[in-house]
Amino acid sequence: AGTSSSTGSSGKTKKVKRKVKPDEAPVQEMGQAEGEETEKKSVSGPCFPPTFSVSEIKNKQRRHAMFLKLKEEKRKQKLELKKKKKKERKALGDQAPPKEVPKTIENQRIYDETTVNPEDEEVAFDEGTDEFSAYFSRLTNPKVLITTSDRPRGRTVRFCEQLATVIPHAHVYYRRGLALKRVIPQCVSRGFTYVMVINEDRKVPNGLVLCHLPDGPTAHFKVSNVRLRKEMKRRGKDPTEHVPEVILNNFTTRLGHSIGRLFAALFPHDPQFVGRQVATFHNQRDFIFFRFHRYIFKNEKKVGIQELGPRFTLKLRSLQKGTFDSKFGEYEWVHKRHEMDSSRRKFHL
């Protein structure tokens, strides 16, 4: 009888509504409350087994969302731990333990056996007999020729012209298809102490050959992140003709010492402090960052600096004995890209 009453002429079945007894209502409410609590817990932070890995999630969008959620959770935990440590240090006062030194690539650097001690007698002897000894003995004054690869584009030409305003006694000449081996003897006969060649690729400067005359050495650098004066924000007025001061940072190894002396010999001996201009070569993880600033003393303690430009980054590719010779030259050091013992914590300069 029950079946005949539930089925109609159309053949559709009617669902019987179950009446909820008043006893069951609080149980349901409790279940809803528990569900809300679990939802709150899941919102506050995802709970995963210790062996869980985000890479196990196959769906790309869900995997990315879960990765961001875990990253945010880790950031919050780190921030809470930092606040907790800060409170503990404040409570302990003078008895607080010393702060932990953060790990960086610089302070985790593998010690290099060729690190130079400036007071070493052997180093002093080498400096007195190397190719730059005449400059550091004030027997020669620097005179630099800046040239380019064949048919340079506008950006490379402007880069050369701006370098000539940074380096005193620098002259810009264009190659016009002349081989570098023929350029060097002419430079020696005319009293130049350096030849600087700016190479380009796809209208962008990408290489620099620096050859010290008359006996070398010759260094080849990769050039990157070139920014000319017009491309720089909040730059100062164009530099004056005063001789700038030179700062060389972190050239600590034998190789780094040679490169530092190579850069130092580009500039005249006595800087003119009236111009308040500084050229900086800063070595960090084998990248040499060049900056050119003007400074002003605001008071006895504060100094203001203003970047003049250009700025660029150098990476040493090779150091060759003697003047430029691509075929038969003897190399002191060559950068090996795929050497077996390469490490992120091992640097050469």
Q: Where exactly are the structural domains of the chain?
A: 54-95, 114-341
pLDDT tens-digit readout, 104-151: 877 777 777 778 887 788 888 888 889 999 999 999 999 999 999 888
What does the pLDDT read at residue 29? 47
- Say whether pLDDT at 10 is over 70: no
Closest Cα partner for 196 from 158, 167, 176, 229?
Answer: 167
Q: What is the mean pLDDT of the chain?
A: 84
- CATH no. for 114-341: 3.40.50.10480
**Residue whose entry in the numeric block shows the structure tokens 């580009």:** 266
pTM (predicted TM-score): 0.72
CA distance linking residue 167 with residue 127, whole number of Å? 23
What does the pLDDT read at residue 4? 45
Judged by average pLDDT, the poorest of 62-66, 120-124, 181-185, 278-282 is 120-124
First-to-last alpha carbon distance for the chain, in angstroms, is: 97
CA distance linking residue 152 with residue 145, whole number of Å? 16
Cα–Cα distances (Å) from 168 to 39, 52, 210, in that order, read 71, 63, 16
Number of Cβ within a 10 Å radius of residue 131: 18
